[in-house]
Protein backbone atom coordinates (compact mmCIF):
# COMPACT_ATOMS: atom_id res chain seq x y z
CA UNK A 1 0.00 0.00 0.00
CA UNK A 2 1.33 3.42 -0.97
CA UNK A 3 0.55 6.82 0.50
CA UNK A 4 0.32 9.48 -2.19
CA UNK A 5 -0.12 13.25 -2.05
CA UNK A 6 -1.70 14.78 -5.17
CA UNK A 7 -1.76 18.51 -5.80
CA UNK A 8 -4.73 19.99 -7.60
CA UNK A 9 -6.92 17.00 -6.82
CA UNK A 10 -10.28 18.65 -6.20
CA UNK A 11 -11.25 17.94 -9.80
CA UNK A 12 -9.91 16.74 -13.14
CA UNK A 13 -7.05 14.29 -13.56
CA UNK A 14 -5.88 14.75 -9.97
CA UNK A 15 -9.23 13.72 -8.56
CA UNK A 16 -9.46 10.78 -10.96
CA UNK A 17 -6.00 9.64 -9.94
CA UNK A 18 -7.01 9.82 -6.27
CA UNK A 19 -10.14 7.78 -6.90
CA UNK A 20 -8.13 5.10 -8.68
CA UNK A 21 -5.51 5.00 -5.94
CA UNK A 22 -8.21 4.37 -3.36
CA UNK A 23 -9.86 1.71 -5.52
CA UNK A 24 -6.49 -0.05 -5.67
CA UNK A 25 -6.14 0.02 -1.88
CA UNK A 26 -3.71 2.91 -1.58
CA UNK A 27 -4.01 6.02 0.60
CA UNK A 28 -4.55 9.39 -1.02
CA UNK A 29 -4.10 12.85 0.45
CA UNK A 30 -5.81 15.50 -1.63
CA UNK A 31 -5.14 19.17 -2.17
CA UNK A 32 -7.53 22.04 -2.93
CA UNK A 33 -7.12 25.77 -3.32
CA UNK A 34 -10.04 26.83 -1.08
CA UNK A 35 -12.28 25.51 1.67
CA UNK A 36 -15.16 25.08 -0.76
CA UNK A 37 -13.07 23.11 -3.21
CA UNK A 38 -11.85 20.98 -0.33
CA UNK A 39 -15.45 20.16 0.57
CA UNK A 40 -16.13 19.30 -3.06
CA UNK A 41 -13.10 17.01 -3.11
CA UNK A 42 -14.14 15.27 0.09
CA UNK A 43 -17.57 14.58 -1.37
CA UNK A 44 -16.15 13.32 -4.66
CA UNK A 45 -13.42 11.14 -3.11
CA UNK A 46 -14.92 9.86 0.15
CA UNK A 47 -12.10 7.41 0.80
CA UNK A 48 -9.40 10.07 0.85
CA UNK A 49 -7.31 10.37 4.00
CA UNK A 50 -7.68 14.15 4.16
CA UNK A 51 -7.59 17.32 2.06
CA UNK A 52 -4.91 19.97 2.49
CA UNK A 53 -5.70 23.55 1.51
CA UNK A 54 -3.44 26.13 -0.06
CA UNK A 55 -3.32 28.53 -2.98
CA UNK A 56 -0.29 27.54 -5.06
CA UNK A 57 -0.21 30.99 -6.64
CA UNK A 58 1.02 32.41 -3.32
CA UNK A 59 4.49 31.49 -2.09
CA UNK A 60 3.60 31.74 1.61
CA UNK A 61 0.61 29.44 1.18
CA UNK A 62 2.66 26.95 -0.82
CA UNK A 63 5.26 26.86 1.93
CA UNK A 64 2.51 26.32 4.52
CA UNK A 65 1.07 23.54 2.37
CA UNK A 66 4.45 21.82 2.50
CA UNK A 67 4.46 22.17 6.31
CA UNK A 68 0.95 20.73 6.52
CA UNK A 69 1.95 17.81 4.30
CA UNK A 70 5.01 17.10 6.43
CA UNK A 71 2.88 17.16 9.57
CA UNK A 72 1.00 14.14 8.22
CA UNK A 73 4.16 12.05 7.99
CA UNK A 74 6.06 10.68 5.00
CA UNK A 75 4.61 9.93 1.58
CA UNK A 76 5.62 7.20 -0.81
CA UNK A 77 4.89 9.45 -3.77
CA UNK A 78 3.91 13.00 -4.64
CA UNK A 79 2.08 13.74 -7.88
CA UNK A 80 2.52 17.36 -8.99
CA UNK A 81 -0.73 17.61 -10.91
CA UNK A 82 -1.97 21.15 -10.20
CA UNK A 83 -1.87 23.55 -13.14
CA UNK A 84 -3.68 26.37 -14.87
CA UNK A 85 -4.09 26.33 -18.61
CA UNK A 86 -3.16 27.99 -21.84
CA UNK A 87 -6.08 30.44 -21.84
CA UNK A 88 -4.67 32.38 -18.89
CA UNK A 89 -4.73 36.14 -19.20
CA UNK A 90 -1.74 38.06 -17.93
CA UNK A 91 -2.14 38.60 -14.20
CA UNK A 92 0.35 38.87 -11.41
CA UNK A 93 0.25 37.19 -8.04
CA UNK A 94 0.75 39.05 -4.78
CA UNK A 95 4.41 38.00 -5.08
CA UNK A 96 4.66 39.84 -8.40
CA UNK A 97 4.91 36.72 -10.57
CA UNK A 98 2.80 35.64 -13.54
CA UNK A 99 -0.04 33.51 -12.18
CA UNK A 100 0.63 30.63 -14.57
CA UNK A 101 4.34 30.57 -13.70
CA UNK A 102 3.67 30.67 -9.97
CA UNK A 103 1.33 27.68 -10.07
CA UNK A 104 2.78 25.56 -12.86
CA UNK A 105 6.51 26.09 -12.32
CA UNK A 106 7.35 27.61 -8.95
CA UNK A 107 4.89 25.71 -6.75
CA UNK A 108 6.18 22.26 -7.82
CA UNK A 109 9.71 23.45 -7.12
CA UNK A 110 8.81 24.73 -3.63
CA UNK A 111 6.89 21.60 -2.71
CA UNK A 112 9.65 19.37 -4.06
CA UNK A 113 12.20 21.22 -1.95
CA UNK A 114 10.15 21.39 1.26
CA UNK A 115 7.98 18.26 1.43
CA UNK A 116 9.82 15.38 3.05
CA UNK A 117 11.45 13.46 0.23
CA UNK A 118 9.22 10.64 -1.06
CA UNK A 119 10.32 7.55 -2.95
CA UNK A 120 8.69 8.76 -6.16
CA UNK A 121 7.88 12.09 -7.78
CA UNK A 122 5.57 12.50 -10.74
CA UNK A 123 5.35 15.81 -12.62
CA UNK A 124 2.70 16.59 -15.21
CA UNK A 125 3.87 18.12 -18.45
CA UNK A 126 2.21 18.47 -21.84
CA UNK A 127 2.98 17.96 -25.49
CA UNK A 128 3.00 21.76 -25.63
CA UNK A 129 6.29 21.70 -23.72
CA UNK A 130 7.83 21.11 -27.14
CA UNK A 131 6.94 24.74 -27.92
CA UNK A 132 8.33 26.07 -24.64
CA UNK A 133 11.07 28.70 -24.70
CA UNK A 134 14.34 26.89 -23.90
CA UNK A 135 16.21 30.14 -23.32
CA UNK A 136 14.62 30.60 -19.87
CA UNK A 137 14.82 34.33 -20.50
CA UNK A 138 12.15 36.69 -19.16
CA UNK A 139 10.46 34.17 -16.87
CA UNK A 140 8.37 37.00 -15.41
CA UNK A 141 7.16 38.14 -18.84
CA UNK A 142 8.37 41.70 -18.27
CA UNK A 143 9.78 42.17 -21.78
CA UNK A 144 7.63 39.91 -23.95
CA UNK A 145 4.11 40.62 -25.15
CA UNK A 146 1.83 38.27 -23.24
CA UNK A 147 0.76 35.07 -24.97
CA UNK A 148 -1.21 32.65 -22.80
CA UNK A 149 -0.43 29.53 -24.81
CA UNK A 150 3.27 30.36 -24.92
CA UNK A 151 3.31 31.05 -21.18
CA UNK A 152 1.66 27.68 -20.53
CA UNK A 153 4.04 25.89 -22.92
CA UNK A 154 6.99 27.49 -21.15
CA UNK A 155 5.83 26.21 -17.77
CA UNK A 156 5.39 22.67 -19.06
CA UNK A 157 8.94 22.87 -20.43
CA UNK A 158 9.98 23.98 -16.93
CA UNK A 159 8.19 21.06 -15.28
CA UNK A 160 10.06 18.64 -17.51
CA UNK A 161 13.36 20.36 -16.73
CA UNK A 162 12.56 20.20 -13.02
CA UNK A 163 11.77 16.48 -13.06
CA UNK A 164 14.99 15.69 -14.87
CA UNK A 165 17.00 17.94 -12.56
CA UNK A 166 15.59 16.15 -9.51
CA UNK A 167 16.34 12.76 -11.07
CA UNK A 168 19.94 13.89 -11.50
CA UNK A 169 20.29 15.40 -8.02
CA UNK A 170 18.38 12.83 -5.95
CA UNK A 171 19.51 9.34 -6.84
CA UNK A 172 17.28 7.76 -4.20
CA UNK A 173 14.06 9.05 -5.84
CA UNK A 174 12.25 8.02 -9.00
CA UNK A 175 11.46 11.36 -10.66
CA UNK A 176 9.50 11.20 -13.90
CA UNK A 177 7.26 13.22 -16.19
CA UNK A 178 3.80 12.40 -17.56
CA UNK A 179 2.21 13.88 -20.64
CA UNK A 180 -1.47 13.03 -20.05
CA UNK A 181 -2.43 14.07 -23.57
CA UNK A 182 -5.11 16.50 -24.63
CA UNK A 183 -7.96 15.11 -22.57
CA UNK A 184 -11.50 16.23 -21.80
CA UNK A 185 -11.02 17.92 -18.44
CA UNK A 186 -12.10 21.42 -17.47
CA UNK A 187 -8.76 22.65 -18.78
CA UNK A 188 -8.73 20.53 -21.93
CA UNK A 189 -12.33 21.17 -22.94
CA UNK A 190 -15.11 18.74 -23.92
CA UNK A 191 -13.81 18.01 -27.43
CA UNK A 192 -10.30 16.94 -26.48
CA UNK A 193 -9.40 13.81 -28.49
CA UNK A 194 -7.06 11.79 -26.25
CA UNK A 195 -7.88 8.92 -23.88
CA UNK A 196 -8.92 10.43 -20.53
CA UNK A 197 -8.37 7.21 -18.59
CA UNK A 198 -4.83 6.80 -19.88
CA UNK A 199 -4.03 10.30 -18.65
CA UNK A 200 -4.47 9.49 -14.98
CA UNK A 201 -3.60 5.79 -15.18
CA UNK A 202 0.00 6.67 -16.01
CA UNK A 203 0.28 8.96 -12.99
CA UNK A 204 -0.93 6.24 -10.64
CA UNK A 205 1.24 3.60 -12.31
CA UNK A 206 4.40 5.66 -11.88
CA UNK A 207 3.49 6.51 -8.29
CA UNK A 208 2.79 2.97 -7.13
CA UNK A 209 3.65 0.18 -9.54
CA UNK A 210 6.38 -2.41 -8.99
CA UNK A 211 6.62 -2.98 -12.73
CA UNK A 212 10.27 -2.60 -13.78
CA UNK A 213 9.12 -0.17 -16.46
CA UNK A 214 7.73 2.15 -13.77
CA UNK A 215 10.74 1.97 -11.47
CA UNK A 216 12.92 4.26 -13.53
CA UNK A 217 13.94 7.88 -13.21
CA UNK A 218 14.42 10.87 -15.45
CA UNK A 219 11.99 9.68 -18.11
CA UNK A 220 9.04 11.18 -19.99
CA UNK A 221 5.90 9.06 -20.38
CA UNK A 222 2.80 9.23 -22.54
CA UNK A 223 0.17 6.56 -21.81
CA UNK A 224 2.74 4.35 -20.05
CA UNK A 225 5.07 4.52 -23.04
CA UNK A 226 8.42 6.28 -23.11
CA UNK A 227 8.40 9.39 -25.27
CA UNK A 228 11.25 11.65 -26.31
CA UNK A 229 10.94 15.10 -24.69
CA UNK A 230 12.32 18.32 -26.11
CA UNK A 231 16.04 17.60 -26.21
CA UNK A 232 16.86 20.88 -24.45
CA UNK A 233 15.20 19.51 -21.29
CA UNK A 234 18.16 17.13 -20.98
CA UNK A 235 20.61 20.03 -20.84
CA UNK A 236 22.17 20.15 -17.39
CA UNK A 237 23.02 23.86 -17.60
CA UNK A 238 19.37 24.71 -18.32
CA UNK A 239 18.22 22.50 -15.48
CA UNK A 240 20.53 24.31 -13.09
CA UNK A 241 19.45 27.72 -14.37
CA UNK A 242 15.82 26.87 -13.65
CA UNK A 243 16.64 25.64 -10.15
CA UNK A 244 18.60 28.82 -9.46
CA UNK A 245 15.77 31.03 -10.76
CA UNK A 246 13.18 29.21 -8.65
CA UNK A 247 15.40 29.53 -5.60
CA UNK A 248 15.74 33.26 -6.18
CA UNK A 249 12.00 33.78 -6.70
CA UNK A 250 10.95 31.70 -3.69
CA UNK A 251 13.81 31.95 -1.22
CA UNK A 252 13.68 28.15 -0.95
CA UNK A 253 16.80 26.07 -1.47
CA UNK A 254 16.70 22.59 -2.95
CA UNK A 255 18.19 20.12 -0.45
CA UNK A 256 21.32 18.34 -1.55
CA UNK A 257 21.32 14.69 -2.58
Which DSSP symbol is given to 213?
T
Q: Which of 86, 109, 123, 156 is catalytic?
A: 156
- Active-site residue 220, yes or no? no
| Opening angle at CA 170, ends 229 and 85, nearest 5 | 45
* CA–CA separation, 83 and 183 (whole Å): 14
> How many of the other CB atoms lie within 10 Å of CB of 255?
11
| Pairing verdict, β 174-178 and 225-226 | unpaired
Q: Which of 123, 152, 174, 220 is catalytic?
A: 152
**HSE-CB of 187 using CA atoms within 13 angstroms:** 20
- Active-site residue 119, yes or no? no
The H-or-E segment that residue 220 falls in is strand 220-222
| Pairing verdict, β 77-80 and 220-222 | unpaired
- Sign for the CA dihedral angle at 234, 154, 13, 61 comes to positive
Active site amino acids: 152, 156
Amino acid sequence: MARVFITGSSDGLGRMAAQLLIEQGHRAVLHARTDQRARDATAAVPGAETVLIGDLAIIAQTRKLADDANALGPFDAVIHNAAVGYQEQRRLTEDGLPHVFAINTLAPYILTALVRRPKRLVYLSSGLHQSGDPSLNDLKWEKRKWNGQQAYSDTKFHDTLLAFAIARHWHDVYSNVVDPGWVATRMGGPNAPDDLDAGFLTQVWLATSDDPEAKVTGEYFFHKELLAPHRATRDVERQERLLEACQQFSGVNLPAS
